[in-house]
Structure 1
Amino acid sequence: MIRGENFALSNLCWPIDEDRAALRIISALGYRGLELAPFKVFGGWDGVTRAEIVSYARFAASEGLTVVALQGILFGANLGPIFSGPDARLALLKHAAQVARMAGEFGGLRCVFGAPGLRKRLGLSASEADRIAVPLFQDLGRIFDDYGSILVLEANPESYGCEYVTKTGEAVSLVAQVDHPGFQVHIDTGTICINEESGEALRSYASAAAHFHVSEPDLVPLSFANARHGQFGDILRSSAYAGWISVEMKQPESDWRSCLQRSAQVIEACYDV
């Protein structure tokens, strides 16, 4: 059983109609946090009320879990690439206000900005993209900060179809340029593994991170076959990182319950106190 109090798990891993059973299982395994993909829970973005949000938070709490982060925050929002023009960026800001309100009503959360499909550079150089992205993310940071939440930037590798901020160091650099408390770094171990980023690089980034995902490449179930988890756990424990460590896995084709059990075994062996 997981002993640490800062481990969470994403609801991507199970069918939504098994929500109560899944929450009961992960709580029994020792997870204390729940990361939500809101579209999966609420079925959309428009019209989600404060009462619905509070009700879900109480539902999670009844199983011993706290909602600690949101992911998939742009899924189902029908947005275009951020470098395609001002209209696309305005639409993103409008949608972000909905997400930030939701995060605020959950009590103030980390909200993961992934969405590799929206990060096509469309022929722009990296420096040209930065000149557009920095003021955009400053605006986004202000929106989330107003609701007591933080937008956390996840590097997405090129193999996921991303063309902007594909390595963790690039995320760290962009966050430094944006320089707003509402916009911080998110670290994902799947990205680190795909990019073959070094442990020393992670050591230098970990203390600056606001959120952390334990994942495998392509979000397959956690496995001891990935020998780097032990290294990642050692680095986190020796760093000043004090946030939630959240497991992210897509729903497996096989038994999702076994997937939850195995994830807890990896966390206990490699990341726990």
Structure 2
Amino acid sequence: MKLSISNLAWNEDNDTVVYDWMQKLEYQGLEIAPTRLFKANPYDCLDEAKKFMEFLKTTYNLDIVSMQSIWYGKKQSIFGTCEERNYLLEYTKKAIIFAENVKCPNIVFGCPKNRIIKEPEQIEVAIGFFDELGKYALEHNTVIALEPNPRIYNTNFINTTREAIEFCKLVCNKGIKVNFDFGSVLENNENFCFGKSEIQLINHIHISEPYLKVIKKRELHKELKKILLKNDYNGFISIEMNSDLDLRKLKETMKYVKEVFI
């Protein structure tokens, strides 16, 4: 397993401080929210993104290993009008091209407010939507990882890890996998009853708490590690928190996650 951290966990003024910690603690990957780096129209900033990728690699030996918050600021819905859905398809395809340009192998799909389902039969709409995106992602050397979002985030579509896995099976597309979110496990009081074939659907893992609060030390983290090792998970373990915390807490968390998972 390998370590990464989302750049939502600190403010941009502290970027170089955290990158230095990452290098010293042997973190290999940075997870990015594109609008955190490029405020407006991030997917049009391909040249700048490539330069940023090269800067990370040459200066800190870090790779961009995941993207999140890919629809930040967007109001359209998968289950809205055809025009809304087509807009989101094309916008996400731009995100996929962005990911390809920075050699990013994982795109987390969270976006709770953009995925409120109105009728049960609309599941077919979602299957078609993600099937098209999964095929496009594979063509461009990346994967869309579906993240369960509990109801506390005001959505009703894919609230649990089990639902994410079952939907992934329905789409049946190698470009669509699952983002395992520890905060969702906690909020939903889930267990870890997953078979090897289901673990293999997990492309990325967030170590988090509900509402992205500071990560607590938990025996469940050690249980998760055992299951991942048993099932040969070799992807990234990524810290996900919000930036409303003392930087010292962030460094302590980075050390803790390394101690548990490596």
- TM-score normalised by L of structure 1: 0.90
**Worse overlay, 12-21 or 257-266:** 257-266
Instruction: List runs of 5+ in structure 2 lacking aligned partners.
Output: none
SS in structure 2 at match of 1:84: coil
Q: Any conservation in 1 of the 2:25–2:255 contact (CA below 8 Å)?
A: no
Aligned to 2:84: 88
2:230 corresponds to 1:233? no
Runs of 4+ in 1 over 6 A off after TM superposition: none
Matches within 5 A, 1:142-157: 142-157=135-150
Aligned to 1:99: 95
Matches within 5 A, 1:115-130: 115-122=111-118, 124-125=119-120, 128-130=121-123
Aligned to 1:13: 9
Matches within 5 A, 1:145-184: 145-184=138-177
Q: CA deviation at 1:204?
A: 6.8
CA RMSD of aligned residues (A): 1.7
Q: Any conservation in 1 of the 2:146–2:176 contact (CA below 8 Å)?
A: yes
Matches within 5 A, 1:1-273: 6-45=2-41, 48-61=44-57, 62-76=59-73, 78-122=74-118, 124-125=119-120, 128-201=121-194, 205-224=198-217, 226-252=218-244, 254-255=245-246, 257-272=247-262
Q: Identity over aligned residues, as a percent?
A: 27
Give aligned pairs, total: 261
1:187 to 1:90, Cα distance in 2 relative to 1, 3 A: same
Q: CA deviation at 1:268?
A: 2.7
Instruction: List runs of 5+ in structure 1 lacking aligned partners.
Output: none
Q: CA deviation at 1:50?
A: 2.7
Report the AA paired with residue 83 of structure 1: F
1:108 to 1:269, Cα distance in 2 relative to 1, 3 A: closer
CA deviation profile, 1:75-119 (whole Å, cap 9, x unmatched): 12x231211121111011111111011000011420000011111
Q: Any conservation in 2 of the 1:81–1:118 contact (CA below 8 Å)?
A: yes
Q: Any conservation in 2 of the 1:42–1:48 contact (CA below 8 Å)?
A: no
1:10 to 1:191, Cα distance in 2 relative to 1, 3 A: same
In 1: Cα distance, 2:79 partner to 2:17 partner? 42
In 2: Cα distance, 1:89 partner to 1:30 partner? 41
1:268 to 1:21, Cα distance in 2 relative to 1, 3 A: closer
- TM-score normalised by L of structure 2: 0.94
